[in-house]
Amino acid sequence: MDYSKRYLKNKKLISQKEQEVLKNKRVLVLGCGGLGGYIIEMLARLGVGNLKVVDFDIFDESNLNRQILSNEENLGFFKVEEALKRIKSINSDIKTKGFNVKVDEENIDNLLTDIDLVVDALDSIPLKIMVEEKCSHLGISIVHGAIGGWVAQIAVIRPGDFILKKMYSGIEKGIEAELGNPSFTPALAASIQVSETLKLLLNKGDSLQSQVLYIDLENNTFSTFEA
């Protein structure tokens, strides 16, 4: 593979030196569904060299409307296994680890071992808050995302911020359970999560640190607020 060609279209925003930095970065993606599938796809294409992916679920027909890793041929297959196949089909040099587990108190410390950054694509609020607490203790930043219907939100959570704990206090279920999701909302949110991930990994640009970006596509509003 000619890597000068692989990353030719990156070079105006990612230098060759930065591309080498990305090759050595280690990112944990929690969730391989609507958000997670797009996140995994884009991180692999950017050339992030070490990807851990986590999900306990299998694909079913209800995923076909929005989850990019799902298709009619892999219904009933584990999402993690399909994610690993997809990464390898994009870039066989990426080092991958897949964990076919549900994130919980017992396995989270192991999942957070030897990583630089967490990308949150979980659909459980209690799990999101638990991960935030663990990452804060370990000094690991999170790129958070959540979606529901026309709405998306993204935030960069530095250790000690506890944005999710503040934002979701007293809330057990996200709006996705009620509103569902079309194909475009997870794609949009994931794209912004990946751009924030890139900025953090390369220490460039302005991040959404201590802020939440709230997007309402039905009314075409993009707003940020301090968390």
159 phi and psi angles, rounded to 5 deg: -55, 130
Split at pLDDT 50, 70, 90, the class of 2 is: low
**CATH code for position 218:** 3.40.50.720
- Report the number of distinct structural domains present in the chain: 1
Both ends of the chain: CA-CA distance in Å? Answer: 44
87 phi and psi angles, rounded to 5 deg: -60, -45
Question: Does residue 64 fall inside a structural domain?
Answer: yes
- More confident position, 203 or 3: 203
Question: Does residue 65 fall inside a structural domain?
Answer: yes
Q: How many CA atoms lie within 13 A of 114 on its CB side?
A: 8
Average pLDDT over residues 2-9: 82
Q: Tokens for 152?
A: 């998306």
Q: Tokens for 74?
A: 């892999």
Query: Which range marks the domain in which residue 51 is found?
Result: 14-226
> Do you know the residue count of the chain?
227
The string of pLDDT tens digits covering residues 23-59 is 999 999 999 999 999 999 999 999 999 999 999 999 9
Question: Does residue 78 fall inside a structural domain?
Answer: yes
| Confidence (pLDDT) at 1 | 56
* In the chain, % of residues over pLDDT 70: 96
Question: Does residue 182 fall inside a structural domain?
Answer: yes
What's the pTM value of the predicted model, to 2 decimals?
A: 0.96
Q: Tokens for 63?
A: 């995923």
Split at pLDDT 50, 70, 90, the class of 11 is: confident
Distances, alpha carbon 186 to alpha carbons 38, 123, 147, in Å = 8, 12, 7
Neighbours of 20 (CB within 10 A): 11
Question: Does residue 6 fall inside a structural domain?
Answer: no
Contact residues for 33 (Cβ-Cβ < 8 A; gap 6+): 55, 57, 63, 67, 79, 121, 123
| b/e sequence 50-71, b meaning 16+ C-beta within 10 Å | bbbbbbeebbeeebeebbbbbe
Question: Does residue 168 fall inside a structural domain?
Answer: yes
Split at pLDDT 50, 70, 90, the class of 4 is: confident
| Confidence (pLDDT) at 180 | 83
The string of pLDDT tens digits covering residues 138-170 is 999 999 999 999 999 999 999 999 999 999 887
d(CA 86, CA 82): 6
Residue 3 has pLDDT above 80, yes or no: no
**Is 122 in contact with 103 (CB distance < 8 Å)?**
yes
Question: Does residue 8 fall inside a structural domain?
Answer: no
For 26, which DSSP code? E
Question: Does residue 3 fall inside a structural domain?
Answer: no
The string of pLDDT tens digits covering residues 108-145 is 999 999 999 999 999 999 999 999 999 999 999 999 99
